[in-house]
Structure 1
Amino acid sequence: MEHEVAVASLTGGMAPTPAPFVGSDRLHPDGRPKGAFRDSLRTVPDARNALAASGAVAFPLAVVAAAVVLSHPAAWVAAFLLMPIAQNRLFILHHEAAHRVLFSNRRLNDLIGINLVGWLTFGTGGHGYRVGHMNHHRDEFGPKEPDFGLYARYPITSASMRRKHRRDLTGVSAFRIIRPRFQRLGQVHHRRLTYRFLAGQALVLAAFWASGHPWLYLLLWVLPWATLYQGLNRIRAIAEHGGMTRSGDRRRTTHHVHQSLAARMVMVPFSVGYHLAHHVDMTVPYRNLPRLHRALVADGYLGELEWPTYRSLWRALRAD
C-alpha cells in the first residue's frame, strides 16, 4: 500500500493516456511481436555484435593513445570529453548482455558483456546489475524498481534540475554510487563484491601504468566517469522514463524520442534510444529494435507519442 501511494503521488506527471491498441497481424495488443515476425526479430547477429564489442573496447584505448601521441592541451581536453561517450558505449553493451542478447551463446554473452565489460566499467563483473534490471523491466515503477527515485517527481523545477546536474558534474553523484562499495565490509558477500570492484579498477590502472602514463587513469578514466558520464547517464535515463508511471501499457512507462544521428553517436548508441520498443519486448537484440519500432508505428501502437527531439522532452521535464 505504501508503494502504491508513492506511485500515485510521485509518478505519472508526464504519462500519456493512449488509445487502446487492439493488435495487428504481427503485433499483440500490448505491442509484443507475434510468430515469424517475433522470431526474426529475436535473432542475435553474433558476428556483427562481436565487431561492435571489439570497437567499443578499442574506442577508449584509441582515445588515450591519440591523446598521448599528440600530447597537446587540446588533445587532453578532447580525450576528457570523448571518454564518457566511450564509457557510455561500454555500459550500453553491458546492458545488452544483461538481457542475454549480446551473443546467442550464453557463456560468451556473460563472459564478454557481464564479466569483462561490466567489471572494467566500475562494476564487479557479476550479475547484480542484471538482476536489478530485470526487476525494472518486469514492473516499471513497481516495488522492486531499482531506479524509482531517478524517474520520479517529474516534471520538476529548473532549479531542481540544475541541482541534479550540479551533483552529477561535480562528482557528488559518483561518490554516492561508490560509497556503498566500502560500507558493510563486515559482511562476507559485500566484502567480496568490493574486492572484485577494486580488482577491476586495478586492472584498468595497470593498463595505464604499462603504457607509462599511470596518472592518466585518474585524468582520463576516473574523472570523466565521475563527472560527465554521470550527467550523460542522467539525461539519457530521464528521457527514457522520467515522469512516467507504473502500468501494464508500456506507452505509459516509457518515452520514445525521434532518433537523430547526433543523439545516437553521443548518448543513445546501439539503438538503446528505441527504448519503448525495447520495453515492449526486451528479448529483441539492439540491431532489430528499429524494425520493431517501425512496426509499432505502422500498425498504430505508437500513435502520436513520439517526442521530436531530446531537447523538447528535457524542456517538458521542467515545470517552469
Structure 2
Amino acid sequence: MPAVRLLPPDRFFDRAEWAAITRASAWRGIWLVAHGWIVSIAVIGLAAWLANPLGWLAAIILVGGRQLGFAILMHDAAHGALHPNRKLNNFLGDWLTGAAVGSDLIAYRTYHLQHHKFTQQPEDPDLSLSKPFPTTRASLWRKVARDLTGQTFFKQRVAQFGFALVGLKAMLRGEKPEKKGASTKAGTPFNKQSDDGMTSPTVDVAGAMAVTRAVGRFLLVQAVLLALSLALYGWTPYLLWLAGLATTFQLYLRIRNIAEHACTTTGSDDPFTHARTTHAGWLARATVAPYWVNYHAEHHLFMGVPCYRLPQVHAALGRAGRHGEMTIAPGYLSVLRQVTAVRA
C-alpha cells in the first residue's frame, strides 16, 4: 500500500511560525517529566499518610493517569520533540518516562514511525488496536474487566519477560545482533494492547536484546521506587504505584488507543481522516488524556510538533476552516458509545 499523504505545513503556517511551533523547548519537556513525578509522588504520599481505602482508590485512579502521561512523554521523545538535545531527549524518554512503565524508546520509535507512514493500512503495526471496532458493549466491558483485574498487565509482563529471557541467553552466549535497535515485533508489545497478551511468535536476536535492556531499566526503576517507599513510608506507596500500573494505567491506555483511530474513515489520500481528536475536560486530562494526547489528528497531520503546542495547531486549523474535515469527538464517552454501536 502507498504511504499516507502528508499535509504541507506551509498551507497554514508561514516559515517563522512553523519554526517556532516545531522547535522543542529546552525546559518544557523537562518540566512535564518532573510534573508527572511530582504529581505521582504527592498523590501516593498523601494517600499513604491518610491510610484510608478511599484515598488509596483515588491514588490508583490518579497515578494511572500520570503513568499514561509517562508513556505519552516517551512518545514525544520518540519523535525527538521532548528536548532539543538528542542525548537528553533520549535519556528522558528511556529512563525517566519509558522505563517507569516498562517501555523501550528505541524499539518504540522503530515501529511507531511505521505506524505514521502506513496509518490504518495493512502495514500499520497498530492496526490490530482499531480493527476490532465497532464491537459490542459486552466485548468492551470484558476488556475493561481484564484491565482492572490486572490480567492485561500480567499477560504483557509474561510476554515481555519471556522476550527478555531470550535476549539474556543470547547475551550470555556472546551473540552479536546483526543490526542496531529492535525489530517491529520486539518493540510493539509493551506500549500497546491486544487481546492475546501482545505476544509474538518470533523474536530476532537484536529485538530480544533490546527487550532485555528495557526490562533491566524497568526493574531498576521499580527497585529504586520500592527502596524509596520502604525508606520513607513502608510498603504502601510502592504498592499503590504498582496497583496503578497493573490496573488503571492499562484501562486508560486502552481507551486512549481506541479514541485515536477506532471507527475513523481512513484513506491514504486524505490526511485529515487518519486519526481522531477528542475534546478533554479536567477529568479526562487527569486520566485518559494527559499532556495533550487528545489532539491526535493534529499529531498525525504534523508529527514533529511537541505535545504542548498541539492546541496551537488545532486553533490554526480551526481558523483555516478545516475542523469540518477532521474527525473530532466531543468527549471520550461519545467515542466509546460510537465504537460499541454493534448490537449483541
1:84 aligns with 2:64: yes
For residues 160 and 288 of structure 2, the distance between their equivalents in structure 1, rounded to whole angstroms, comes to 27
Query: 2:32 is aligned with what amino acid?
Result: A
Q: Which runs of 5+ in 2 are unaligned?
A: 171-208
Q: CA deviation at 1:288?
A: 1.4
| Equivalent residues, number | 296
For residues 230 and 42 of structure 2, the distance between their equivalents in structure 1, rounded to whole angstroms, comes to 16
Runs of 4+ in 1 over 6 A off after TM superposition: 21-25
Please say if residues 62 and 286 of structure 2, whose CA atoms lie closer than 8 Å, have aligned partners that are also in contact: no
- 2:147 is matched with which residue? 168
Please say if residues 116 and 300 of structure 2, whose CA atoms lie closer than 8 Å, have aligned partners that are also in contact: yes
1:57 aligns with 2:37: yes
Q: CA deviation at 1:198?
A: 2.6
- 1:308 is matched with which residue? 330
| Match among 294, 299, 312 for residue 320 of structure 2 | 299
- 1:11 is matched with which residue? none
1:137 aligns with 2:120: no
Secondary structure of the residue that 2:134 maps to in structure 1? coil
Secondary structure of the residue that 2:27 maps to in structure 1? helix
For residues 193 and 84 of structure 1, the distance between their equivalents in structure 2, rounded to whole angstroms, comes to 20
- 2:11 is matched with which residue? 26
Q: CA deviation at 1:262?
A: 3.0
Shift of the 310–101 alpha-carbon distance from structure 1 to 2, 3 Å rule, reads same
Shift of the 261–214 alpha-carbon distance from structure 1 to 2, 3 Å rule, reads closer
Identity between Structure 1 and Structure 2 (%): 35
Q: CA deviation at 1:220?
A: 0.7
- 1:206 is matched with which residue? 227
Comparing 224-233 with 114-123, greater Cα deviation is found at 114-123
For residues 24 and 101 of structure 1, the distance between their equivalents in structure 2, rounded to whole angstroms, comes to 17
1:112 aligns with 2:133: no
Please say if residues 77 and 83 of structure 2, whose CA atoms lie closer than 8 Å, have aligned partners that are also in contact: yes
Shift of the 101–205 alpha-carbon distance from structure 1 to 2, 3 Å rule, reads same
For residues 63 and 93 of structure 2, the distance between their equivalents in structure 1, rounded to whole angstroms, comes to 19
Q: CA deviation at 1:45?
A: 2.3
Comparing 90-99 with 68-77, greater Cα deviation is found at 68-77
TM-score of the aligned structures, taking structure 2 as reference length: 0.77
- 1:247 is matched with which residue? 268
TM-score of the aligned structures, taking structure 1 as reference length: 0.83
RMSD: 2.7
- 2:280 is matched with which residue? 259
Query: 1:26 is aligned with what amino acid?
Result: R
Please say if residues 272 and 286 of structure 1, whose CA atoms lie closer than 8 Å, have aligned partners that are also in contact: yes
Q: Which runs of 5+ in 1 are unaligned?
A: 5-20, 28-32
1:153 aligns with 2:107: no
Q: CA deviation at 1:90?
A: 1.8
